[in-house]
A and B are shown apart, each in its own frame.
Chain A
Amino acid sequence: MGYDPENPMKDRITDIGPPHYEQFFPAVVKKNYGKWLYHEIIRPGVLMHVSETGDKMYTIRVASARLISVEHIREICDIADKHCDGIVRFTTRNNIEFMVDAESKVQPLLDDLASRGNKFPVGGTGASVSNLVHTQGWIHCHTPATDASGVVKAVMDDLFEYFTSMSLPAKVKIALACCLNMCGAVHCSDIAILGVHRKPPMVDHDTITGVCELPLAISACPLGAVKPTKATNSKGEEIKSVKVNAERCMFCGNCYTMCPSMPLADPDGDGIAILVGGKVSNSKSAPKFSKLVIPFLPNTPPRWPETVEAIRNILEVYAKDARKFERVGEWAERIGWEKFFEKTGIPFTVKSIDDYRLAYDTWRTTTQFKFTSHIK
């Protein structure tokens, strides 16, 4: 039995989908499905859900690095077997959730988690910095402009107190995407850490003939900066290739996605941009995009001190200045972006003024503004 390489299609099973979710529900969830009445966060990282039936469920939310080993998952399983009848879940933001059906089971679980070093910090609820959503970076991706896991570790080591407490005006969601493809969809985060390139692609005339479809590479450029040309490869042969008009390049990397012979990653060119003020919830104000406030910070492994400091600064100025329940973007809009720059001390540069498509929507067309230090 098992896979037979001589007969790969024998007994083949396809299109069976994922396991059905219902088999993984705790008993208290099965019984109270659709009957939940209200919830309360009884302490940071611990939620209580109360059902119409009077049943209660307690959830302990725990951080994870997202990049985790099967040994770590087995340890999670050990904890779930011991305290939670063998059931556990994961959240959209890479947290682990352990669920129990009685308050008396909460403290023993918390004690157990605390006894395991820094592996299972409890928090990420309410007006906290929850776990970071992030992408792969240098651990697995072929197009990153920065790392992911390393930056996240450095940022969250620094902001740890905000994960385990609920002292902010509102929830703050931070996300990291290691290039402009944004697998992590950071474009609607309170604070977004985004890997960016700053050097145009090189063209490898020795390989382009074999690996790229030139029309696709040319049409991949949204600004028409990639043009067909004739070039000479190392063997002295004249070949069809492309050239890049550097003045038009906006460093999006879409050409490299289509053509491996146009690499643009670079140790000095690549780094991090910071965007702030996005949200996805419809609560109070409509969902909004994050806005670019710091165009570039260098890649400085292993701890990215410039990025860590920039994020702490934004978070602390927000925490001090925003009104209760105000998300970062709601705060910035109320005080005005000129005040955002003044209060955070972030230098405003021309790079925060949009000059791409639909840019005009972001230009100020009113006499309503504030006299900040920017006006000399």
Chain B
Amino acid sequence: MAKHNTPMMDELEKGPWPSFVTDLKRQAEKSPQCWDILGQMELSFKDKITHWKHGGIVGVFGYGGGIVGRYSDVPAQFPGVAHFHTVRLNQPSSKFYNTTKLRQVCDLWEKYGSGMTNMHGSTGDLVLLGTRTEHLEPLFYDLTHDLNWDLGGSGSNLRTPSCCLGKARCEWACYDTQAACHGMTMHYQDEIHRPAFPYKFKFKFSGCPNDCVASIARSDLSVIGNWRDNIRIDQAAVKEYAAGNYVANGGAHGPKSTLDIQKDVIDLCPTGCMWLEGGELKIDNAECTRCMHCINMMPRALRPGVVQGATILCGAKAPILDGAQLATMIVPFIEMDPNNDFEQLVEFIESVWDWWMENGKNRERLGETMQRVGLPTFLKVINVDPIPQHVKEPRSNPYVFWAEEEVEGGFERDVKEFRARNAM
């Protein structure tokens, strides 16, 4: 595999942002197939089109996910990328690594693949980019035996769950996101590795309503930390913010930015449930919707309450096919207890799956099934009582699907009897 002439790629070595081109060239010294990656990429830049063929089903024995097949459509020109399959490694929860483990991955991937990776894929996996079919089984053997590590999901299965870094570094995590993410990942290994669903299914775990893993936008089942008691207030710290001694918004606007509590916090509160009284900050917690704005602004003075758990939302997805959906709030509050293996969460997940696996159509995300049958039906089949929190507003059309048993006397009537009273 020879070096190709790549003037457009070379242009992307300039500039202050890290250059993947410089990086590819560096790796090419050890992994010559990287020259062919650059060569094919240059061709795509020239032709303004991809040069990867559609699909290709490859994998390791016994798994239906974790490997994505990929072949070049110009293999004669670029034999080093004739096969270019992706291997998804299930990332450790919240993506902390030690260098011993990372170096093992590097060695493994230099041995069996192109040496190029994505740290990380959109769903969360550590993605190894580009290997040949005959390397898959040996790679999987070494991965499981030497690295004690497994593949993530792909296809119509449970995709690799992911989470925010939670209690490891964040003061706002209302439950242990890593324990939940790892726990569900281990509990559902079969569902991750062997496709049995109508379509993909994603879990994402965020510790608070700031939702740093964007679970509300992209997971079929979104678990977002929440609390149901009062925001904790340190009035001494409130005074420090008022005096300009503490930096605003955790320093997000520079170390010298100070806070005008009335203008920046109280006036921007979406429910108007806060006020200042004799230098003290007061909150009418019953009116609070826990949006996090005041807490984000004053992290040294305000903290989430202590009765903590999570809110579960269902059915988010990107636009393909019927348009994008945000997740719909289904369960306002559940306990998230690692000591009982997140029993309430597991029970909820399985009630959703039991129904969706029976009723979801081929390639239909949960959110689309929910739209097709309607939210009232979805709530009924998963045995959740309807509450006003399920909707932004009540319906404005009167077309209610009354069930026969709800209507006095049922639906069966005698039209002759009707006509005897009401002539045509």
Contact = CB atoms under 8 A, between A and B. Distances in A.
Candidate in A42, A59, A89, A356 with the most chain B CB atoms within 10 angstroms:
A89
18 contacts: A19-B149, A37-B300, A38-B171, A66-B120, A70-B109, A87-B96, A87-B97, A88-B99, A118-B19, A127-B252, A147-B44, A160-B15, A163-B17, A256-B54, A281-B292, A282-B210, A283-B296, A356-B323
A3 to B, nearest CB: 4
B45 A138 contact: yes
Given A34-B173, A49-B169, A256-B54, 17 more contacts: A18-B91, A18-B152, A38-B250, A39-B250, A41-B255, A67-B118, A88-B97, A89-B97, A90-B97, A141-B52, A142-B52, A153-B17, A166-B254, A177-B318, A183-B318, A185-B217, A187-B318
B238 interface: no
B324 to A, nearest CB: 4
A21 B41 contact: no
A285 interface: yes
A78 to B, nearest CB: 8
A125 interface: yes
Interface of B: 8-9, 11-12, 14-21, 23-24, 26-27, 30, 34, 37, 41, 44-55, 61-63, 70, 84, 86, 89-103, 105-107, 109-110, 115-120, 122, 124, 129-130, 137-138, 141-142, 144-145, 147-150, 152, 162, 164-165, 167-171, 173, 176, 178, 182, 185-186, 189-190, 193, 209-214, 216-218, 224, 247, 249-255, 264, 268, 270, 290-293, 296-297, 299-300, 318-324, 326, 363
Interface string A69-105: 1111110110011000011111110101000000000
Contacts of B84: 140
Contacts of A76: 102
Interface in A131-156: 133, 135-144, 147, 149-150, 152-154, 156
A23 interface: yes
Interface of A: 2-3, 5, 8-9, 11-21, 23-26, 29, 33-34, 36-44, 49, 57, 59, 63-74, 76-77, 80-81, 86-92, 94, 96, 118-121, 125-127, 133, 135-144, 147, 149-150, 152-154, 156-157, 160, 163, 166-167, 170-171, 177, 180-185, 187-188, 220, 222, 252, 254, 256, 260, 263, 265-268, 270, 278, 280-285, 287, 289, 299, 301-303, 324-325, 356-358
B324 A24 contact: no
Nearest to A173: B214
Secondary structure dominating the interface of A: loop
Contacts of B50: 137-138, 141-144, 265
A80 to B, nearest CB: 5
Contacts of A270: 48-49
Nearest to B311: A282
Contact of A302 (B9, B20, B53, B218): B9
Candidate in A14, A143, A357 with the most chain B CB atoms within 10 angstroms:
A14
B23 A14 contact: no
Nearest to A149: B20
Candidate in B98, B149, B165, B171 with the most chain A CB atoms within 10 angstroms:
B98
Contacts of A358: 323
A14 B144 CA distance: 7
A282 B293 CA distance: 9
A13 B189 contact: no
A37 B171 CA distance: 5
A149 B129 CA distance: 14
A58 B173 CA distance: 19
Contacts of A88: 96-97, 99, 102
Contacts of B119: 64, 66, 68, 73, 90, 94, 96
Given A138-B51, A188-B214, A222 B26 contact: no
A66 to B, nearest CB: 5
A147 B8 CA distance: 13
Contacts of A285: 270
Contacts of B49: 138, 265-267, 270
A50 to B, nearest CB: 9
A49 B16 CA distance: 29
A280 B24 CA distance: 33
A351 to B, nearest CB: 15
Contacts of B162: 92
Contact of B326 (A26, A57, A63, A289): A289
B142 A3 contact: yes
A301 B45 contact: yes
Given A15-B190, A40-B250, A283 B292 contact: yes
A34 B179 CA distance: 12
A14 B142 contact: no
A59 B133 CA distance: 40
A87 B168 CA distance: 13
B102 A73 contact: yes
A106 to B, nearest CB: 14
Contacts of B185: 17-18
Contacts of B299: 38-40
Contacts of B37: 139
